[in-house]
Amino acid sequence: MGNEVRKDYLLNRYVIIASQRAKRPSDIAQAPSEASSSKNCPFCPGNEHITPPADLVYLEKNNIVIIEKDREDLRHREWLVRCFENLYPALSPHVTEVKTDSGFCVGREVYGYHEIIVESPDHLEQPSFARLKQLELMFDASLELLRRYYNDKSIEYVQIFRNYRREAGASLSHPHTQIIASSVIPSAISTEFEFARKYYKEEKRCVFCSILEDEERSPRLIYKDDKFTVIAPWASIHPYEFWIIPRRHESDILDTSASEKNSFARTLRLCLGSLTKLLGNPPYNYGFHINPKQDRKNEYYHWHLEVYPKLSIWGGFELSTGMYINITPPELAAEWLREEIKKEESTLAI
């Protein structure tokens, strides 16, 4: 099998699928991770005073989840999930104006928020083996913060994302998700969005619904239940990249139903659990792709989660051209992940 150049479903982005260099999962398995310590961890229970006060905290009382907030003089204890402003925010609602001297380099004031969602009080409860209840609460907290940011008239886009392990950009190992709400729409999002709009104009249907129809019958299908489908995308630029896509046309992520949340938590847990076992706990990043706020409900865009295992380092070719070489064909990645998921399913109580 020779190398192939593949074009992304939407973007003008190309990847070289280099099958000849494909390795077995055991050849890329990572060394066991360094023991992570909960000593002095600012996200661990008991250290709440080190972080800013939580603006959203889930507590459990008599088996019911209660939504609360900290105050400057009161930090809630015994929490399930806790959200607060990042101590070192990438964006902030308190910006000063940006000006350049010559006027050649244009700066633009970017207004926004940067928050941390601590997903569990347990320092070691990573999503690959987390309790489904915790993953659902993490998803709920993300949507609750998203709802709040949408009420800020200056916010245009909200990115919910996660970095796992230091090699993927996580500076603290305690399980946490990050949210950045911004007054500008990032280019990768606006490009994907524009292509989806163009596809709809030409084909009269949502491109993600088309991807589902085609890929659910392809060797790139990894997993599906009645609510979500997981695929290794045709032009994956990362080895073992996978996307989790709602099976019904779901434009606004805030319309996710309770049963969909439950299914999403289970799907995420299964896929990350399988990835972790198959490749020996690799670093990864993931990010939700959702509609920009101005166009939340439409016929042509469909939210999804993109998961990027960090197994290769992009070199001069990738960085200078924006074209990629992926040495694990998505069909092989899908096959191995499918097998691992079958084993992983037995570990999950339904």
Q: Whose Cβ is closer to Zn ion: residue 24's or residue 248's?
A: 248
Phi first, then psi, for residue 208 (nearest 5°) are -70, -35
In one letter, which amino acid is 14? Y
Strands 14-17 and 4-7: antiparallel
Q: Whose Cβ is closer to Zn ion: residue 91's or residue 172's?
A: 172
324 touches 14 (CB < 8 A): yes
Q: Whose Cβ is closer to Zn ion: residue 158's or residue 278's?
A: 158
- How many C-beta neighbours within 10 Å does residue 223 have? 21
104 touches 134 (CB < 8 A): no
CB of 221 to Zn ion, least distance (A): 17
Q: Whose Cβ is closer to Zn ion: residue 116's or residue 181's?
A: 116
CB of 233 to Zn ion, least distance (A): 9
Distance CA(261)–CA(139), nearest Å, equals: 7
Q: Whose Cβ is closer to Zn ion: residue 13's or residue 148's?
A: 13
Residues at the contact surface with Zn ion, assessed by CB under 5 A: 38, 41, 43-44, 123, 174, 206, 208-209, 249, 289, 302
CB of 11 to Zn ion, least distance (A): 9
CB of 18 to Zn ion, least distance (A): 23
Phi first, then psi, for residue 165 (nearest 5°) are 80, 155
In one letter, which amino acid is 139? F
CB of 40 to Zn ion, least distance (A): 9
The residues that bridge with 305 in the sheet, in sequence order, are 244, 288
